[in-house]
Amino acid sequence: MRIIVAKTAGFCMGVKRAIDIVLDADKKEKGRLYTYGPLIHNPQVIDMLETKNVKVISDLSEISGGTVVIRTHGITPLEMRRIKEMGFSINDATCPLVMKVQSIIKRYAGKGYNIIIVGDEDHAEVKALLGFAEGKGIVVESITEVERLPHNMKEVYIVAQTTMNRKRFIEITERIKERYPDCKIIDTICDATDKRQKEVWSLAKEVDAMIVVGGRNSANTKRLAEISESIGTSTFLIETEEELDSDSLNGFNAIGITAGASTPNWMIRRVVEKVKSLKRERRWRLIRYSINLGEFLIKSNIYIAIGAAFLTYASCTLQGIYPNPLLMLIATLYIFSMYILNSFTDQEAIRLNEPGKTEFLRKNKRVLIELAVVSAVISIFFSVKLGLIPFLLLLLSSILGIFYSIKIIPLNLSRDHGFQRLKDIPASKDLFVALAWTMVTVLIPYFSTEEDITPLSTFTTFLFVFSLVYIRSVLFDIRDIQGDRIIGRETIPILIGKENTKIFLVILAGLSATGLLISRNMGWTSNLTHFMLLSILYTCGYLYLYHKRVISHGLSCEAVVDGKFILVGCIAFIWAVMN
């Protein structure tokens, strides 16, 4: 079974903007926060906002004060005027494209034109648009409704609901033009909607079944399902992954997955993971067991812990230190324990960003926590054998790792700077993660050896390892940008944008490669640094694959990205054998 995820699936610009407005208002506004009607047409997102004390209201008489956020679909001028007169603070999250249609209607209605809106009369956007027509607006949803239009209209201006099906819009407007030859027509369907519909049209022809994820009250989501069905492709319109089962998807060899403009990434990921699990049931037993084993290693963080052992071996070899197995064991136990413990102290982020791991962690919570605690204790115990400085470094790393996601600063002291936990410091996660890795894989080996090591070789190794881990961590921040934005975490992609972050990571990879070359030319390190350039090339490779959305999400993405740690260890081992 092939699974193809549409490139256009997920939040559109208008929805993302609206979510950002609400989340920013939640931070800044002191009073209660309300949305006038559901902000977007997605029940899961609305439920999530309610957990952040953002309440949906349908009648202004329900509240007496606070801030009102205008929904993406907009409201009528009369409603806006009433909100202002009642003294509420206003944050307008109306989609800019909807605002454009509102201004067009207002301008031409003011010139005396009769406005025809092609769309769904019961949709919130259309109801708001009618308010700008000053009593001269008529809604047309189908060709049959054209016949009921008045014959005596002379000046006619036609617009579309922004989420309208373009094919149907053209059919309706052609019929209207026959009735009113001098009418003016402007296609106000948003480009994102058009691209989404075109991709579904194309994708539905390639697959046996199409899954459309989104709220059932979402017009653009329903239209995606309608387009798929019109081609004759078996189509499933679902809100959550729980609506899928093996019987409904049985017999399909290729499944396409798309989502409406108000569907968050984490909902799409959950559906993808569910389809993958159903797909696995149909594979041969040996292949199924192999995939299950791979997923277990990744979900349990054993895979990344093994990567730490390989990276420690490479770090020792680069520095000219004998790769003591005890050093690799300490790194493995430390990384395993910290990643497990932070998974349980940061569960909201895991739930939104890594849905594939959520159920695994829930089912195995007690065992994993016990193993993590035992691993941390054993790693600290073994570090004592390496000397005082290695012990203190590991102890410090463990303390920082454990308390990173825990509220350690009293609320009264945190009011001035806005954070109670280390993770609340903007863009701190990636720095702390990279520093923790370099401590256990580079500095502990350096301070535990009695060999005559050039500090510059350790400095070079430190920067190399730091860049590898930092790039990995920031890349996953790009993947998790929606979830991080919702939980209030300020990561680099949130601060400077996704595309700028991608450029930043490529530059960082280039600087890392340059550092390796300089260190070799200066005689600080052996010619192993030349071979380590392969890991930089590998890093640029998976950054490219991520950019092209070949490995944009899921456990396969982690397998590829974290595979570079194993790669550097293998390169170092082969070099050591050959020399």
DSSP string, 478-497: HHTHHHHHHHT---HHHHH-
Q: CA 287, 292, 295 angle in degrees (round to 5)?
A: 125
Section 301-312 average pLDDT: 97
Section 39-48 average pLDDT: 89
Catalytic annotation present for 273: no
Average pLDDT of every residue of the chain: 90
pLDDT at 410: 56
CA–CA gap between residue 267 and residue 42 (Å, rounded): 10
CA–CA gap between residue 508 and residue 264 (Å, rounded): 30
* Residue/partner pairs of 59-68 with CB below 8 Å, 24 or more apart: 60/36, 60/86, 60/88, 63/32, 63/34, 63/88, 65/31, 65/32, 66/29, 66/31, 66/32, 66/33, 66/34, 67/25, 67/29, 67/31, 67/32, 67/33, 67/34, 67/91, 68/34, 68/35, 68/36
Q: CA 157, 163, 165 angle in degrees (round to 5)?
A: 80
For residue 7, report the phi and psi dihedrals to the nearest 5 degrees.
-65, -25
Distance from the Cα of residue 347 to its chain's centroid: 16
Checking if the pLDDT of 398 tops 70, the result is yes
- What is the band of 277 on the pLDDT scale with cuts at 50, 70, 90? confident
Section 316-331 average pLDDT: 95
Query: Residue 537, class by beta-carbon neighbours within 10 Å (0-12 exposed, 13-18 middle, 19+ buried)?
Result: exposed
Which range among 69-78, 181-190, 325-334, 448-457 shows the weakest confidence by mean pLDDT?
A: 448-457
Residue 137, H or E segment: strand 137-140
User: Residue 93: CB partners within 8 Å, gap ≥ 6?
Assistant: 17, 18, 21, 22, 35, 39, 69, 70, 71, 72
Q: Answer for the pair 397, 334: CB distance below 8 angstroms, yes or no.
A: yes
Checking if the pLDDT of 82 tops 70, the result is yes
- What is the band of 415 on the pLDDT scale with cuts at 50, 70, 90? very low
pLDDT at 289: 83
Name the residue with tokens 């509240």: 63
525 to 517, 550, 575: CA distances (angstroms): 10, 36, 13
CA–CA gap between residue 164 and residue 219 (Å, rounded): 8
pLDDT at 145: 93
Q: Pick the more confident residue, 419 or 350.
A: 350
Which range among 68-72, 284-288, 447-451 shows the weakest confidence by mean pLDDT?
A: 284-288
CA–CA gap between residue 43 and residue 240 (Å, rounded): 10
pLDDT tens digits for range 491-524? 999 999 999 999 999 999 999 999 999 999 999 9
Q: Answer for the pair 434, 473: CB distance below 8 angstroms, yes or no.
A: yes
CA–CA gap between residue 182 and residue 177 (Å, rounded): 7
For residue 263, report the phi and psi dihedrals to the nearest 5 degrees.
-95, 120
The count of other CB atoms within 10 Å of the CB of residue 100 is: 15
- What is the band of 348 on the pLDDT scale with cuts at 50, 70, 90? confident
Residue 92, H or E segment: strand 89-92
Nearest CA to 12 out of 116, 163, 128, 150 is that of: 163
Helix residue ranges per DSSP H, 354-427: 355-363, 365-384, 388-403, 411-414
- What is the band of 414 on the pLDDT scale with cuts at 50, 70, 90? very low
pLDDT at 405: 65
Section 248-277 average pLDDT: 89
- What is the band of 490 on the pLDDT scale with cuts at 50, 70, 90? confident
Residue 300, H or E segment: none
Handedness of CA 411, 415, 421, 422 (dihedral sign): negative
In the DSSP assignment, the letter for residue 71 is P
Which range among 280-289, 411-420, 439-448, 532-541 shows the weakest confidence by mean pLDDT?
A: 411-420
pLDDT at 304: 97
CA–CA gap between residue 180 and residue 142 (Å, rounded): 16
Amino acid at 450: E
Q: Answer for the pair 404, 423: CB distance below 8 angstroms, yes or no.
A: yes
In the DSSP assignment, the letter for residue 424 is G
* Structural domains present in the chain: 11-94 (3.40.50.11270), 98-189 (3.40.1010.20), 193-283 (3.40.1010.20), 294-578 (1.10.600)
pLDDT at 346: 79
Percent of the chain past pLDDT 70, that is, above it, reads 95
CA–CA gap between residue 194 and residue 206 (Å, rounded): 19
CA–CA gap between residue 223 and residue 496 (Å, rounded): 34
The residue from 125, 199, 241, 295 that is catalytic is 125
